[in-house]
């Protein structure tokens, strides 16, 4: 009869995970999530670089429209603000129209730097992003004339 009582007790026990097993599983899940977050951060930087390239193309199209309307690109001192507000100073646009709602910002929330003439091709404009560090002249800068 003792054997039957033991079998009954074993049969009525609740089975489940021990505290140690739960801690191990949660640790593994934490490692997986940490690795995923790390990989996603690197993917985010790649996406930012692709956005800059797209911005260079779209801002370039607007600048070409400005040139078609006025016969020239804005000067460096007029900058990209010339796409939003009528620029003062020389060269004065003849048939200016607002081509943008606001000055374009890069993925790191800073205004693109505009130069005309450009550093490499003097007959073309140049757009520059300061990159993630926000400093001109560092390795993470990108230029429309380097594409």
Q: Cα dihedral sign for 61, 52, 121, 76?
A: positive
Q: What is the mean predicted confidence (pLDDT) over 110-130?
A: 95
- Residue by residue, DSSP assigns 75-132 as PTTTGGGGGTSPPPSSSPPSS-----SS--B-TTS-BPEEESS-SS-TTS-EEEE-TT
What per-residue confidence (pLDDT) applies to 7?
A: 53
Q: Cα dihedral sign for 32, 35, 37, 43?
A: negative
Task: Look up the CATH number of the domain holding residue 142.
Answer: 3.30.700.10
What per-residue confidence (pLDDT) applies to 36?
A: 78
What per-residue confidence (pLDDT) applies to 56?
A: 95
What per-residue confidence (pLDDT) applies to 95?
A: 87
Assigned domain for 57 exists: yes
Number of domains in the chain: 1
Q: What is the mean predicted confidence (pLDDT) over 122-141?
A: 93
Assigned domain for 69 exists: yes
What per-residue confidence (pLDDT) applies to 89?
A: 87
Assigned domain for 21 exists: no
CA–CA separation, 47 and 30 (whole Å): 26
What per-residue confidence (pLDDT) applies to 77?
A: 95
Q: Which phi and psi (to 5°) does residue 127 adopt?
A: -110, 135
Task: Considering only residues 11 and 142, tell me which one the structure prediction assigns the higher pLDDT.
Answer: 142
What's the pLDDT tens digit per position in 29-86? 988 888 777 776 666 778 889 999 999 999 999 999 999 999 999 999 999 999 999 9
pTM (2 d.p.): 0.71
- The range of the structural domain enclosing residue 100 comes to 47-147
Assigned domain for 102 exists: yes
What's the pLDDT tens digit per position in 99-118? 999 999 999 999 999 999 99
Assigned domain for 29 exists: no
Q: Which helix (H) or strand (E) holds 53?
A: helix 19-70
Cα dihedral value 58, 61, 67, 73, nearest 10: 40
Q: Does the pLDDT value for residue 18 go beyond 70?
A: yes
Assigned domain for 5 exists: no
Assigned domain for 121 exists: yes
């Amino acid at each position: 009869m003792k054997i039957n009582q033991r079998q009954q007790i074993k049969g009525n026990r609740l089975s489940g995970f021990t505290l140690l097993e739960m801690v191990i599983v949660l640790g593994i899940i934490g490692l997986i999530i940490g690795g995923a977050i790390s990989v996603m951060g690197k993917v985010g930087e790649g996406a930012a670089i692709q956005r800059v390239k797209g911005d260079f193309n779209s801002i370039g199209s607007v600048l070409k429209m400005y040139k078609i309307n006025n016969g020239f690109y804005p000067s460096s001192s007029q900058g990209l603000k010339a796409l939003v507000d009528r620029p003062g100073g020389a060269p004065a646009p003849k048939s200016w129209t607002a081509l943008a709602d606001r000055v374009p910002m890069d993925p790191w929330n800073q205004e693109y730097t505009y130069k005309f003439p450009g550093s490499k091709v003097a007959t073309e404009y140049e757009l520059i992003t300061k990159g993630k560090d926000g400093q001109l002249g560092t390795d993470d800068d990108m230029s429309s004339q380097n594409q």
